[in-house]
Chain A
């Protein structure tokens, strides 16, 4: 996680820090016919550049490759990436005692909320900032921990309703050791929109995955990033691989959005992200 930033901003002041970088068992990427096992300390650059991951799980490789800058990707780990705290500027500024810091107000509700959630935003309007979480959720990954053992990624991220102070289901002291992605033969794709072309968090990201059968996408799902307090999964089931059907699905998927005063624009971006990521899967069928 991005602990140093939080310490610099006086959000966290831990009395003691444990260096995990010396634990070799947390490193490395192994890919075989059953799937990919990725150490929590694998860097985003290693993941982005891994030829087997790029072939079998392109959504993940693309997501890792879009994060931050080359310099950051060389040191940032996937374990840290999925455990990033919110980028919400009220959370990041010590002078705002927001809900996530134990306060009683979400300042974003009536404040500067152009980057905030358009789904699941009635209590706290943070968005989950991780690129790779979006891809991992689309790929039905499993989080392995030293502690409870395995947590399916669908249960890993928790909403503010479930626990306002945390974003993951990890227990106190529980450590992510590996991520496992099962090989299912699903095709996948990832894309994101951001305000500038480099060194930026996504305004909206999308990872899409589906199995192919003729002109049909089976078990199609899209996970949106930066639109809700958790990576936001939309299951579309079986869907015809035509532009019209995919666009209809995209329109349908954002119908329930509840944008705030300054982020209606994100609904349009979400719709476009769904369309383009699904079309990319469909294009692969032709």
Chain B
């Protein structure tokens, strides 16, 4: 049981009722996409490009295959627009004439026999006229080979506060460093999968494993030139997403629908196997960052300059917003008068990089925090003390101009984390140990950080989300929301919030399947927004629903028992037929954002944290083994402590993988090690005890005070681990992750 440092005063919020979907999952009766049976279903396969950049000269179908039994789709068969509707309209569903990355979809095949479909993929031959490819950030920025806009740059951001240039010459110490974070594969357990039924008469229906049914809905309409009500997208039980099922499922959904459309409306199922999933789908953006920081000799941060470049891959997809979040987390929870942040996302001929838990923030938090550790070593100040001297406090201005309205409590979180991890004793003992032991070196280090919850800037306003509740026939309440359960517990936490507000038992709250024909668009299941933003919409809907029942006279206004509520609901339905109550997003007061100058309140709420990593390195094998991990955070009200702690533990484990194990081997821009035997993911035998502590500082605009926390644990572990490695190696910074044994060997030899 995680440690929550307040006593909840509620009946459901702050308690741990059983998860809404756990019985089905534990007993194996939950139906994932591939468990669904459709009469006469065809199996769809994708023929993908094998060059990073080239003109398609010829597509030929090898003789000896009964091609007449196959449904074959190319770009020419697309009834509407061959473009994925996202931020920009640059990515086709199927390459038409030109391929811009390896593993790009070119031809689709479907056959009643799955084995036949699989074999036929290799019998389709695509000839290319190969064109010069851009495979690195440096090549992209070098000019010469321009494939996007005038300069291969998808997007740039600039944040400026004060004037760092004026500070460098007069500062006691100026420290510079360059950092690199590698790509990372989301590795949800269930691979991408969809089933589509599509025809000109029946419209398009898609079932699928996904985070955001309305993203898929938006993507399919122009593909078939269909209006809203002719496209329906239905979520199926989803085995993990981590961002990998945010924007990507639109592609296989479109592919399956195109095949079904051509096959006369027969259902078509596309399920990627692990190798295809790892080869072709999105990953975390790699990022190269330069950090320059000026200090007084006693460690006051005078100026900070961060310059970060992310590799976006061959299409814009979400790179501009990933970059935005990275930009807005690059300066960390520190008070500093002179800050410049310059960031850019660039084109390369890689499969597009995409959403992944943290969404750009881990990539910029890593260099800043590791740089502060480096600075502490160079200044001869303890790393925690250097942070303490520069922490952001209530009333301070962030680099964006946002004034901290609340006390962040970071210093308290830091002392708690240091206390729980015995940080001070360990730093002393480990220095002693490392002086005498040559075989094992020990390290301990911390990182401080924040994560903004909800969409960046005006994002939530543009989303204009809507969520609702309805009374069921038996007098219970059903949640109507497009937000999906992807393992993070959203069905459960939403139900707790509604039960609490309505003062009815948790068991009396149901959750409608997210189906675009049934639920309103409450926005995507991303950005640590589901509990905080959509949860608050549901709380308000619950409040309104109660008011409707009271006003109608069905319910007494001064409290009720569950059976009184049921009776009131029954009475209301008898009289009026149905009751659906919706609420729409309203921005919190005093929160405004200027997209042009990148100033204002980037996020309405921040979660704050301090993490401590403890590890040892075997100096003969150079393997770093995590020994202990302490995660202390303030996330507003914790709705479900067990689920919340599970999110933190899972995120920390995923970040340990990013920091120490997961090495995406790229060749021609695409992943080579597309197997779980050579893309090394830590197991529970590799992860340490992950000790989770919550502080609660209720956030007034979140449901019962909740803020977002899903992405937070991805941010802090990597810099804490890299700093602990540096500690173990005698203040030798390895500025890139993953830190593999061979990286350590190279660094010290």
| CA gap between A89 and B745 in the complex, in Å | 24
The contact string, 1 if C-beta is below 8 Å from chain A, for chain B 459-497, is: 000000000000000000000000000000000000000
Considering only CB atoms, which chain A residue lies closest to B742 in the complex?
Answer: A265
**Chain B residues with CB below 8 A from A275, complex form:** 620
Interface pair A199/B683, CB less than 8 Å apart: yes
Q: Does A255 contact B (CB under 8 A)?
A: no
Q: Does A33 contact B (CB under 8 A)?
A: no
Given A89-B675, A89-B678, A201-B677, answer yes or no on A196-B122 (Cβ-Cβ < 8 Å). Answer: no
**Chain B residues with CB below 8 A from A93, complex form:** 275
Given A193-B623, A196-B683, A196-B686, answer yes or no on A265-B677 (Cβ-Cβ < 8 Å). Answer: no
Q: Does B673 contact A (CB under 8 A)?
A: yes
Interface pair B685/A89, CB less than 8 Å apart: no
| CA gap between A275 and B672 in the complex, in Å | 34
| CA gap between A87 and B740 in the complex, in Å | 20
| CA gap between A198 and B683 in the complex, in Å | 7
The contact string, 1 if C-beta is below 8 Å from chain A, for chain B 200-230, is: 0000000000000000000000000000000
Interface pair A92/B683, CB less than 8 Å apart: no
**Chain A residues with CB below 8 A from B684, complex form:** 198
Given A89-B673, A195-B680, A196-B683, answer yes or no on A112-B667 (Cβ-Cβ < 8 Å). Answer: yes
Q: Does B682 contact A (CB under 8 A)?
A: yes
Q: Does A57 contact B (CB under 8 A)?
A: no
| CA gap between A10 and B685 in the complex, in Å | 32
Q: Which of A10, A112, A275 has the most CB of B within 10 A?
A: A112
Interface pair B675/A196, CB less than 8 Å apart: no
**Chain B residues with CB below 8 A from A114, complex form:** 742
Q: Kindly identify which residue among A111, A197, A198, A272 contacts B620, using a CB–CB cutoff of 8 Å.
A: A272
| CA gap between A200 and B676 in the complex, in Å | 9
**Chain B residues with CB below 8 A from A236, complex form:** none
**Chain B residues with CB below 8 A from A262, complex form:** 742
Interface pair A268/B745, CB less than 8 Å apart: yes
Interface pair A268/B620, CB less than 8 Å apart: yes
**Chain B residues with CB below 8 A from A111, complex form:** 667, 672
Q: Smallest distance from the beta carbon of A179 to chain B beta carbons, Å?
A: 26
Q: Does A165 contact B (CB under 8 A)?
A: no
Q: Does B506 contact A (CB under 8 A)?
A: no
| CA gap between A111 and B682 in the complex, in Å | 24
Q: Does A115 contact B (CB under 8 A)?
A: yes
Interface pair A265/B673, CB less than 8 Å apart: no
Interface pair A112/B683, CB less than 8 Å apart: no
Within 8 A of B (CB), among A1-58: 10
The contact string, 1 if C-beta is below 8 Å from chain B, for chain A 192-209, is: 010111111100000000
Q: Does A146 contact B (CB under 8 A)?
A: no
| CA gap between A193 and B618 in the complex, in Å | 11
Q: Kindly identify which residue among B621, B673, B685, B742 contacts A198, using a CB–CB cutoff of 8 Å.
A: B685
Interface pair A92/B675, CB less than 8 Å apart: yes
Interface pair A112/B665, CB less than 8 Å apart: yes
Q: Does B741 contact A (CB under 8 A)?
A: yes
Interface pair B621/A272, CB less than 8 Å apart: yes
Q: Does B661 contact A (CB under 8 A)?
A: yes
Interface pair A197/B742, CB less than 8 Å apart: no
Interface pair B680/A115, CB less than 8 Å apart: no
Q: Does B622 contact A (CB under 8 A)?
A: yes
Q: Smallest distance from the beta carbon of B736 to chain A beta carbons, Å?
A: 16
Q: Kindly identify which residue among B122, B667, B681, B745 contacts A265, using a CB–CB cutoff of 8 Å.
A: B745
**Chain B residues with CB below 8 A from A200, complex form:** 677, 680
Q: Which of B622, B677, B685 has the most CB of A within 10 A?
A: B677
| CA gap between A94 and B273 in the complex, in Å | 15
Q: Smallest distance from the beta carbon of A166 to chain B beta carbons, Å?
A: 22
Q: Smallest distance from the beta carbon of A145 to chain B beta carbons, Å?
A: 29
**Chain B residues with CB below 8 A from A195, complex form:** 661, 680, 740-741
Interface pair B621/A193, CB less than 8 Å apart: yes
Q: Smallest distance from the beta carbon of A194 to chain B beta carbons, Å?
A: 9
Work out how many contacts link A and B, with CB atoms closer than 8 A: 60
Q: Does A269 contact B (CB under 8 A)?
A: yes
Interface pair A197/B677, CB less than 8 Å apart: no
Q: Smallest distance from the beta carbon of A234 to chain B beta carbons, Å?
A: 18
Given A89-B672, A196-B661, A196-B685, answer yes or no on A265-B678 (Cβ-Cβ < 8 Å). Answer: no
| CA gap between A262 and B672 in the complex, in Å | 14
| CA gap between A115 and B672 in the complex, in Å | 13
Within 8 A of A (CB), among B668-716: 672-673, 675, 677-678, 680-686
Interface pair A265/B741, CB less than 8 Å apart: yes
| CA gap between A262 and B673 in the complex, in Å | 14
Interface pair B686/A197, CB less than 8 Å apart: yes
**Chain B residues with CB below 8 A from A268, complex form:** 620-622, 745
Interface pair B678/A115, CB less than 8 Å apart: yes
**Chain A residues with CB below 8 A from B745, complex form:** 264-265, 268
**Chain A residues with CB below 8 A from B678, complex form:** 87, 89, 115
The contact string, 1 if C-beta is below 8 Å from chain A, for chain B 606-626, is: 000000000000001111000
Considering only CB atoms, which chain B residue lies closest to A90 in the complex?
Answer: B672
Interface pair B621/A196, CB less than 8 Å apart: no
Within 8 A of A (CB), among B614-641: 620-623
Within 8 A of B (CB), among A251-286: 262, 264-265, 268-269, 272, 275-276
**Chain B residues with CB below 8 A from A276, complex form:** 620
**Chain B residues with CB below 8 A from A95, complex form:** 50
Within 8 A of B (CB), among A94-113: 94-95, 111-112
The contact string, 1 if C-beta is below 8 Å from chain A, for chain B 113-134, is: 0000001001000000000000
**Chain B residues with CB below 8 A from A201, complex form:** 677
Interface pair B621/A269, CB less than 8 Å apart: yes
Q: Smallest distance from the beta carbon of A28 to chain B beta carbons, Å?
A: 31
Interface pair A94/B741, CB less than 8 Å apart: no
Interface pair B672/A112, CB less than 8 Å apart: yes
Interface pair B122/A94, CB less than 8 Å apart: yes
Considering only CB atoms, which chain B residue lies closest to A273 in the complex?
Answer: B621
Within 8 A of B (CB), among A226-269: 262, 264-265, 268-269
| CA gap between A94 and B275 in the complex, in Å | 12
Interface pair B741/A196, CB less than 8 Å apart: no
**Chain A residues with CB below 8 A from B675, complex form:** 89, 92
**Chain B residues with CB below 8 A from A94, complex form:** 122
Q: Smallest distance from the beta carbon of B617 to chain A beta carbons, Å?
A: 13
Q: Smallest distance from the beta carbon of A9 to chain B beta carbons, Å?
A: 8
| CA gap between A115 and B667 in the complex, in Å | 16
Considering only CB atoms, which chain B residue lies closest to A92 in the complex?
Answer: B675
Q: Kindly identify which residue among B623, B677, B680 contacts A87, using a CB–CB cutoff of 8 Å.
A: B677
Interface pair B682/A196, CB less than 8 Å apart: yes
Q: Smallest distance from the beta carbon of A250 to chain B beta carbons, Å?
A: 11
Q: Smallest distance from the beta carbon of A44 to chain B beta carbons, Å?
A: 17
Considering only CB atoms, which chain B residue lies closest to A5 in the complex?
Answer: B677
**Chain B residues with CB below 8 A from A115, complex form:** 678
Within 8 A of B (CB), among A109-166: 111-112, 114-115
**Chain A residues with CB below 8 A from B119, complex form:** 10
**Chain A residues with CB below 8 A from B275, complex form:** 93
Considering only CB atoms, which chain B residue lies closest to A262 in the complex?
Answer: B742
| CA gap between A199 and B119 in the complex, in Å | 30
| CA gap between A283 and B414 in the complex, in Å | 45
**Chain A residues with CB below 8 A from B620, complex form:** 268, 272, 275-276
Cross-chain pairs A/B with CB under 8 angstroms, 21 sampled: A10-B122, A89-B672, A93-B275, A95-B50, A111-B667, A114-B742, A195-B740, A196-B681, A196-B686, A198-B683, A198-B684, A199-B683, A262-B742, A264-B742, A264-B745, A268-B620, A268-B621, A268-B622, A268-B745, A272-B620, A272-B621
The list of the 6 closest CB pairs from A to B, nearest first, reads: A197-B685, A265-B742, A198-B685, A272-B620, A198-B683, A195-B680
Q: Which B residues are within 8 Å of any A CB, using their own CB?
A: 50, 119, 122, 275, 620-623, 661, 665, 667, 672-673, 675, 677-678, 680-686, 740-742, 745
Known contacts A89-B678, A262-B742; 15 further A-B pairs (Cβ under 8 A): A87-B677, A89-B672, A89-B675, A94-B122, A95-B50, A115-B678, A196-B661, A196-B683, A196-B685, A196-B686, A264-B742, A265-B742, A268-B620, A268-B745, A272-B620
Q: Which A residues are within 8 Å of any B CB, using their own CB?
A: 10, 87, 89, 92-95, 111-112, 114-115, 193, 195-201, 262, 264-265, 268-269, 272, 275-276
